[in-house]
Structure 1
């Protein structure tokens, strides 16, 4: 065993350093679901900046240094406060904000979101099946993004109003009717936020034979 460790110490050091890098500085996050469509697709692998908000002790949620504050509109990865699952969503409300949803229209601090560029599309749901969807540009409090709505019966299109507590955040998926976000799992404490997603590293169409999506490689996330 000692000889094996000596013979392979180079690769072992590399693995340890890579692990520390991924848990403290930058990470890549495969996305298996469509909760962030149309911004992020199933099969995208996004690059996560772990130093966007805090310098954390590797392998823990303990913050060693405060580096920045999460902002409305950021796309973030975090551990679910409900079961610890790693999720990726859009941050729509910060501490002190009043957030409300009325018939799928978002309100932040009583200011209604404006919707433009309304487009009807057919969304693939796998196995050659499609569902009609409506895509729009949502603009609220200076934050713009593309979101979409689906014709589902169990959607949570009305919510709140609620006040976001201190040191916690309200997250939503851009695919509003297919996202288990803060409407279901509650507010997300800051110490559970892992980092900010900035770019797509690689992408493959996991619903159609894993064909690579070359046009999405290195695309910035907005």
Structure 2
């Protein structure tokens, strides 16, 4: 065993450096579900900057130093406060914000989001189930993104005003009626933030025989 280690020392060092790079500096994250539609699709693989917010001890949530401040509108990867699952959502509200939702309409600090550029289409939400969907541009508190509503789908599309606690954040999926997010598991503490997603590295159509979607390669978020 010792001889094998000596013989392959260079390869083992390379593996160690690669592991440290992925767990502390940068990473990639496959998109397994439609919770971020229409901006991220199942089969996308996004590039994640792990140093965007915190420098952590590799493989832990122990923060050594803060490297940047999360911003409203960031697409963030984080560990679910519910069960530790890695998730990717939109950071919608910051510490101290008063946030509310009334029948899909988002309010932040008393400002109602503006919605325009509506588009209607059919969206597949499960095997054999296709529903009407509405896509709109949502603008509020200086940030904007395309969001999707699924009329007729039971979801938590209303909640009373609540103040985001210090050191925590409210996350929502862009696909508002098909996303398990802060409406279900609560606020996300800063130490659970993994990094900021910057763009799509590669993409494959998982429902179309895994054919590459070249038009999505390199797409920024």
TM class by shorter chain equals over 0.9
Residue of structure 1 equivalent to 2:43: 43
Question: Are the equivalent residues in 2 in contact too, given 1:30–1:45 (CA < 8 A)?
Answer: yes
TM-score by length of 2: 0.97
Q: How does 1:13-32 map to 2 (within 5 A)?
A: 13-32=13-32
User: How far did 1:131 drift?
Assistant: 2.3
Mapped pair 1:12 → 2:12: yes
Residue of structure 2 equivalent to 1:178: 178
Residue of structure 2 equivalent to 1:117: 117
Residue of structure 1 equivalent to 2:218: 218
Residue of structure 2 equivalent to 1:57: 57
Residue of structure 1 equivalent to 2:143: 143
User: How far did 1:124 drift?
Assistant: 3.3
Question: Are the equivalent residues in 1 in contact too, given 2:138–2:146 (CA < 8 A)?
Answer: yes
In the alignment, the residues of structure 2 paired with residue 218 and residue 100 of structure 1 have an alpha-carbon distance, to the nearest angstrom, of 34
Mapped pair 1:79 → 2:79: yes
In the alignment, the residues of structure 2 paired with residue 160 and residue 76 of structure 1 have an alpha-carbon distance, to the nearest angstrom, of 24
Question: Are the equivalent residues in 2 in contact too, given 1:91–1:169 (CA < 8 A)?
Answer: yes
Query: How far does the alpha carbon of each residue in 1:32-66 deviate from its partner, in whole angstroms, 9 at most, with x for none?
Result: 00000001000100000011111111111111111
Query: How far does the alpha carbon of each residue in 1:75-96 deviate from its partner, in whole angstroms, 9 at most, with x for none?
Result: 0000000000000000000000
In the alignment, the residues of structure 2 paired with residue 215 and residue 128 of structure 1 have an alpha-carbon distance, to the nearest angstrom, of 27
Question: Are the equivalent residues in 1 in contact too, given 2:171–2:188 (CA < 8 A)?
Answer: yes
SS at match of 1:52: coil
SS at match of 1:35: coil
Question: Are the equivalent residues in 2 in contact too, given 1:127–1:207 (CA < 8 A)?
Answer: no
Cα root mean square deviation, aligned: 1.2
In the alignment, the residues of structure 2 paired with residue 60 and residue 5 of structure 1 have an alpha-carbon distance, to the nearest angstrom, of 27
Question: Are the equivalent residues in 1 in contact too, given 2:75–2:89 (CA < 8 A)?
Answer: yes
TM-score by length of 1: 0.96
User: How far did 1:128 drift?
Assistant: 6.8
**Number of aligned residues:** 221
In the alignment, the residues of structure 2 paired with residue 123 and residue 208 of structure 1 have an alpha-carbon distance, to the nearest angstrom, of 15
SS at match of 1:13: helix
Structure 1 stretches lacking a partner, 5+ long: none
In the alignment, the residues of structure 1 paired with residue 149 and residue 75 of structure 2 have an alpha-carbon distance, to the nearest angstrom, of 19
SS at match of 2:20: helix
In the alignment, the residues of structure 2 paired with residue 147 and residue 67 of structure 1 have an alpha-carbon distance, to the nearest angstrom, of 29
User: How far did 1:158 drift?
Assistant: 0.6
SS at match of 1:15: helix
Query: How far does the alpha carbon of each residue in 1:146-192 deviate from its partner, in whole angstroms, 9 at most, with x for none?
Result: 00001344211111211100000000000000000000010000000
Question: Are the equivalent residues in 2 in contact too, given 1:95–1:169 (CA < 8 A)?
Answer: yes
Between stretches 200-209 and 74-83, larger displacement belongs to 200-209
User: How far did 1:126 drift?
Assistant: 6.1
